[in-house]
Amino acid sequence: MTTDNITFGFFDEDAKKEIRRAMLKAVALPGYIVPFASREMPIARGWGTGGLQVTLSLITDKDQLKIIDQGCDGSVNAVNIRDFIVSVTGVEETTATPDATIIQTRHRVPEYPLSENQTLVYQVPYPEVLTTVEPDTARQKEMHANVDYAKLWVLLYEDTAQFGDSRISSRYPVVVNNHYVMDPSPIPKFDIPKLSDNPALQIFGAGREKRIYAIPPYTDVKPLKFSDREFAIEDFSGKACERCGSEDVFLDEVHLDDGVHFFCSDTYHCDTHLKEDRGAA
Amino acid sequence: MSYVAIKGGAEAIRYSKDFFHSELDDAKSISDQSLVKGLRYACDRVMSEGALYTETLAAEAIRKTGGDLLEAAFYVRAHRSTCQRIGSAEPIDTNQLRIKRRISSAFKDIKGGQILGPSCDYVIRLFSSLKSSDNTEAPLFEETDIPNIRVESALTPLRRDDRVAMLENEEQSPFDVTRSFPLPPYPRSAVMQIMARGETGSLLAFGYTSMRGYGDVHPTIGDLRLGEADILFTHPFTGNRVKIGSIRVTACETVGSFNPDPKDGKLRLAVGYGFCFGFNETKAISMSVLDLAMSHKGYSVGGQAIAANPEIVVHHVDAIESMGFTNHFKLPHYVTFQADLQVLNNARKNNDDR
């Protein structure tokens, strides 16, 4: 089998139609998780098949595609997924955040602000925010229907009482449109504020768990937090990227023989910032 | 200090893939015939777990993966996603199989007889041959011996006597898990499909929990059959009923305990059903035990046990999913791990400040 005899976007049209219908429902009900059939992909479950199916159902030959993993265009899995999508669509690939019309991501929201003509597709391992407190899917559905998030509040309370703050580091629960509580995928808390009021459409695809959900553009998204507690993001104060000098971005902590170093997690941001600096100099 | 080192590097990936392929170079010389006939149980697992009956692609997948059967089934599943569905074939009645092997452990003798067929059940698993006369004699079996046998299930007489509990059919048409995924309460047809595509080892492990003590006490195999099923299809243009081929399948009916039937209070036996592509007795038996535990809760001890819980079975028996997710932990997780460390540091600080 070569990729020559595969249709545009890998899937047959019925599969795309089903995924598009799930996405439409997801957009109409912000933060609500919609089940879908989730075809098997030539890339393994847990490696971004949900995001991949969303992207392949959205993509047209006019799109410009950017794929990142941990904020990096060159990461193993990002390269692999990008190669696959390009091979079954022939679309143009880009690393420039502002040029991309579809950005598929794992674990990060790009530093560069997104715009209305962009869709951010998240790869999601655990779509159900309630899993940690209630593993039974029937009960979860009931709890969402009743807007019953008491167990999450209790978890938050217990953590705050024992450890001074929630122990959740990534995948911090968010309230979407003042209704459903949603798992934002394993992005760091640093990226949570970017979800709210974002001009781009944000779609979340969980392939293994067979769920799709969405945050439509300009939707209110708040971290689940007691009103008298501040939502603290990862702290990089006093640190800057050693390559481009950026501050106020998410920094990767790199341990080398000569000590700890910090670099931008978002490689596009790092490259452009470096270029601007050189241009100015 | 190097910035590039923390990137994956497309080049490195390409070399790694090439390295993998070159390691398996010898597999190229294994023919389809050798795999389909010689390693037929491997091909059967790949077709069954890959959820597509295709002997040649199963063979190709085994070659491509160096015999890693989970990976091979994954190839078949991925290929399945590219196949346009033309329509649905007629349901297969496993009473109508052309039997190659059919046994019942519930009865000493049954209508149609105990047909042992090809089985390794009685093989002494020694690498060296035993010094017995067995090995010196000419083989007792020749391919031409196979008659065209069709026998009804060994449980048919019990059904006729109204001694087997019949489940209500609450579904208009079977659920199709490849076209939408079910929400709880899960239709039985959906659960059966998920198990029929499930991984042998996973079904075995969950089924085994039930046999060992976390569920139904002791299942009895009512009818286990291996054979060929004809696939009948309504021709899309002529409208005629046509046979489009035949597939080798395994089916199993397992008898559990009896209880008052919720329908009328009469005592009846509970029966579970298992079915899969190819010859795989372990899988079909395990599936039937799980079906028994899930579909007849009142009949099994420990209705809340693992095997009786569709939530456990539906979400954990598919190897394409469990294997993929398990291996994804090899992907970089440094952003989330770093966030973890910050939370640890903050909590430690909070702890120390007390």
B151-to-A151, A233, B155 alpha-carbon distances in Å: 56, 69, 11
pLDDT digits (tens, 9 = 90+) for A134-167: 988 899 999 999 999 999 999 999 999 988 999 8
Can the peptide bond before residue B185 be classed as cis, meaning omega within 30 degrees of 0?
A: yes
Three-class DSSP labels, chain A: CCHHHCCCCCCCHHHHHHHHHHHHHHHHCCCCCEECCCCCCCCCCCCCHHHHHHHHHHCCCCCEEEEEECCECCCHHHHHHHHHHHHHHCCEECCCHHHCCEEEEECCCCCCCCCCCCEEEEECCCCCCCCCCCCCHHHHHHHHHCCCCHHHHHHHHHHHHHHCCCCCCECCCEEECCCCEECCCCCEHHHHHHHCCCCCEEEEEECCCCEEEEECCCCCEEECCCCCCCCCCCCCCCCCCCCCCCCCCCEEEEEECCEEEEEECCHHHHHHHHHHHHHHC
Gap between the Cα atoms of A34 and A214, Å rounded: 9
pLDDT at residue number B3: 44
pLDDT digits (tens, 9 = 90+) for B157-170: 999 999 999 888 88
Q: Please give the structure tokens belonging to residue B215.
A: 């569920």
Yes or no, beta carbons of A252 and B335 under 8 Å apart:
yes
Instruction: Answer whether residue B181 is part of any domain.
Output: yes
B167 and B285 share a domain? yes
Yes or no, beta carbons of A75 and B332 under 8 Å apart:
yes
pLDDT at residue number B259: 79
How large is the average pLDDT for residues A200-208? 97
Question: If you ran DSSP here, which 8-state letter would residue B164 be given?
Answer: B
In chain A, the residue whose alpha carbon lies closest to the alpha carbon of B315 is A209
Domain of residue B75 covers 9-80
B219 and B248 share a domain? yes
B57 and B201 share a domain? no
Gap between the Cα atoms of A108 and A189, Å rounded: 10
Instruction: Answer whether residue B130 is part of any domain.
Output: yes
Catalytic residue among A50, A51, A72, A270: A270
Instruction: List all residues of chain B from 69 to 98 with a beta carbon under 8 Å from chain A.
Output: 74-75, 77-85
Instruction: Answer whether residue B114 is part of any domain.
Output: yes
Gap between the Cα atoms of B293 and B343, Å rounded: 43
Gap between the Cα atoms of B315 and B235, Å rounded: 36
Choose the final residue of a domain: B55, B80, B105: B80
Q: Specify the residue for token string 């990227």.
A: A241
Element (H, E) at B2: none
Question: Contacts of residue A76 in chain B, CB cutoff 8 Å?
Answer: 8-9, 13, 331-332
Q: Give me the phi and psi of A134, to 5 degrees please.
A: -150, 100
Q: Which of A38, A77, A188 sits opposite B335 (nearest CB)?
A: A188
Would the pTM of this model clear 0.80, i.e. be above it? yes
Question: Contacts of residue A75 in chain B, CB cutoff 8 Å?
Answer: 7-8, 332
pLDDT digits (tens, 9 = 90+) for B186-212: 999 999 999 999 999 999 999 988 887
pLDDT at residue number B216: 63
Yes or no, beta carbons of B342 and A235 under 8 Å apart:
yes
A244 is catalytic: yes
Yes or no, beta carbons of A164 and B13 under 8 Å apart:
no
- Among B193-197, B221-225, B266-270, the minimum mean pLDDT is found in B266-270
Question: Contacts of residue A39 in chain B, CB cutoff 8 Å?
Answer: 80-81, 178
Yes or no, beta carbons of B82 and A256 under 8 Å apart:
no
Contact present, A185 and A107 (Cβ < 8 Å): yes
pLDDT digits (tens, 9 = 90+) for A114-126: 999 999 999 999 9
Instruction: Count interface pairs A-B at CB distance under 8 A.
Output: 175
Of A147, A217, A231, give the one whose Cα is nearest residue A182. A147
For A117, counting Cβ atoms within 10 Å of its Cβ (0-12 exposed, 13-18 middle, 19+ buried), the class is: exposed
pLDDT band at B1; cut points 50, 70, 90? very low
A270 is catalytic: yes
Q: Please give the structure tokens belonging to residue B227.
A: 């054979």
Q: Specify the residue for token string 């079975």.
A: B313
Question: Contacts of residue B335 in chain A, CB cutoff 8 Å?
Answer: 70-71, 107-108, 170, 186-188, 250, 252, 265
* CA-derived radius of gyration, chain A: 19
B111 and B256 share a domain? yes
N residues, chain B? 354
Instruction: List all residues of chain B from 169 to 188 with a beta carbon under 8 Å from chain A.
Output: 177-185
Yes or no, beta carbons of B335 and A70 under 8 Å apart:
yes
pLDDT at residue number B4: 42
B267 — contact with chain A (CB < 8 Å)?
A: no
- Among A254-258, B210-214, B222-226, B300-304, the minimum mean pLDDT is found in B300-304
B56 and B104 share a domain? no
Yes or no, beta carbons of A72 and B323 under 8 Å apart:
no
- How far apart are the CA of B266 and the nearest CA of chain A, in angstroms? 32
Q: Which residues contact A227 (CB under 8 A, 6 or more apart)?
A: none
Q: Specify the residue for token string 């091909």.
A: B43
- How far apart are the CA of B276 and the nearest CA of chain A, in angstroms? 19
Gap between the Cα atoms of B312 and B305, Å rounded: 9
pLDDT at residue number B6: 45
B179 and B227 share a domain? yes
Element (H, E) at B213: none
B46 and B120 share a domain? no
- Among A94-103, A214-223, A251-260, B131-140, the minimum mean pLDDT is found in B131-140
Contact present, A105 and A188 (Cβ < 8 Å): no
B324 — contact with chain A (CB < 8 Å)?
A: yes
Question: Contacts of residue B332 in chain A, CB cutoff 8 Å?
Answer: 69-70, 75-77
B250 and B287 share a domain? yes
Mean of per-residue pLDDT scores for chain A: 93
Q: Which of A11, A70, A210 sits opposite B81 (nearest CB)?
A: A11
Contact present, B53 and B277 (Cβ < 8 Å): yes
pLDDT at residue number A139: 94
Choose the final residue of a domain: B24, B56, B80: B80
Of B196, B186, B191, give the one whose Cα is nearest residue B275. B196
Catalytic residue among A31, A48, A205, A207: A31
Mutation test of the interface with chain B: which of A1, A34, A40, choosing the one with the most B Cβ atoms within 10 A? Answer: A40
Yes or no, beta carbons of B9 and A37 under 8 Å apart:
no
Gap between the Cα atoms of B21 and A233, Å rounded: 44
Mean of per-residue pLDDT scores for chain B: 89
Choose the final residue of a domain: B28, B55, B80: B80
Residue B129 pLDDT greater than 70, yes or no: no
Q: Please give the structure tokens belonging to residue A17.
A: 């139609």
Instruction: Answer whether residue B324 is part of any domain.
Output: no
A131 — contact with chain B (CB < 8 Å)?
A: no
B14-to-A27, A65, B25, B188 alpha-carbon distances in Å: 38, 21, 16, 45
Torsion (CA) A87, A89, A94, A97 in degrees, nearest 10: -130
Domain boundaries, chain A: 3-223, 235-281
* Fold classified for A3-223: Rossmann fold (3.40.50)
B202 and B292 share a domain? yes
Instruction: Answer whether residue B115 is part of any domain.
Output: yes
B244 and B202 share a domain? yes
Total number of domains in chain B: 2
B76 and B101 share a domain? no
Examine the predicted complex and report whether its ipTM is higher than 0.85. no
B116 and B178 share a domain? yes
A264 is catalytic: yes
Q: Please give the structure tokens belonging to residue A51.
A: 């995001």
